[in-house]
Amino acid sequence: MRAWVPGWKIDDMGKEHPPHEPHRADIGGLLNKLRAAVLGANDGIVSTAGLVVGVAAAAPTNTPAILTAGVAGVLSGAVSMAVGEYVSVSTQHDTEKALIAKEKAELRHAPEAEFAELVGLYEEMGLKPETAHQVATELTHLDPLATHLRVELGIDSDELVSPWLAAFASAIAFTLGAVLPVLAVVLAPPSTRIPVTFAVVILALALTGLSSAKLGGAPISRAILRVVLGGAIGMAVTYVVGGLLGASIE
């Protein structure tokens, strides 16, 4: 077997992939990021649409109040999403770093036991004992830590998620989705702003449902129906509440 070249990827079966060839873990990670972005945009659409529709129902001609509520919703939602994502990913990041340190110590103090564990894991994947031993031997020779992290823990030490990057991406995705209902309700004439906003939001939710279904390999019609129905119910509830509050204030 030829010498391993830095930058190449080694999959769980010992097959080497050059840097330009998509690796299945890379593709899976990219799809997860895209799916998270779609879901973040969906959250922005639904939560902000409910807010502006409720205010518009209470004061349909008060454009400044609707715009203020919409901008406040966009900013508060984006910050909340960013903070929540930062805390969540930071916890994951700290856990992964602790697991990496633990695996390093185990490889240093008990390499034989770790090798036997690796062979056992490959046997559990369906490899014959002799094949599992050969694969474990070759991958351990290349990079024992990376092999154990990937096979035993499902971690790639070169691709740990950045909490700051995750927070920023979450805030951007939410903002992109949230801006849409704000623009729809503010730019539409007062007499039609609520139905226009409903129509724009339903269309946007259908697109996010379609995107998430395609990325996740789920049934398209069911995914679209789920997000559209949820968004419609949310807007209907805030519309009714806003209308009742507006009537009581008047």
Question: How many CB atoms are closer than 10 A to CB 5?
Answer: 9
250 residues of the chain, pLDDT tens digit each: 333 443 445 444 444 444 444 444 455 556 666 777 788 899 999 999 999 999 999 998 999 999 999 999 999 999 999 999 899 888 888 888 888 888 888 888 888 888 888 888 888 888 888 888 888 888 888 888 888 888 877 777 666 678 888 889 899 999 999 999 999 999 999 989 999 999 999 999 999 888 888 877 778 888 889 889 999 999 999 999 988 887 554 4
Question: How many CB atoms are closer than 10 A to CB 107?
Answer: 17
Structural domain for 148, as ranges = 30-172+180-245
Instruction: Give the type of residue at 209.
Output: G
Taking the C-alpha atoms of residue 187 and residue 222, their distance in angstroms, rounded to an integer, is: 32
Number of separate domains in the chain: 1
H/E element, 249? helix 220-249
C-beta of residue 194 within 8 angstroms of C-beta of residue 231:
no
Report if residue 155 sits inside a domain.
yes
Report if residue 9 sits inside a domain.
no
Torsion angle defined by CA atoms of residues 123, 125, 130 and 134, in that order, rounded to the nearest 10 degrees: -110
Per-residue DSSP letter, 152: I
Closest CA to 50 of 226, 203, 247, 241: 241
Locus of tokens 């080694």: 10
User: What's the confidence (pLDDT) of residue 238?
Assistant: 92
Report if residue 7 sits inside a domain.
no
User: What's the confidence (pLDDT) of residue 157?
Assistant: 66
Question: Residue 171 to residues 73, 82, 120, 176: CA-CA distances in angstroms?
Answer: 12, 5, 43, 9
Report if residue 229 sits inside a domain.
yes
Question: How many CB atoms are closer than 10 A to CB 159?
Answer: 9
Report if residue 134 sits inside a domain.
yes
Taking the C-alpha atoms of residue 101 and residue 22, their distance in angstroms, rounded to an integer, is: 28
Report if residue 16 sits inside a domain.
no
User: What's the confidence (pLDDT) of residue 121?
Assistant: 86
Report if residue 19 sits inside a domain.
no
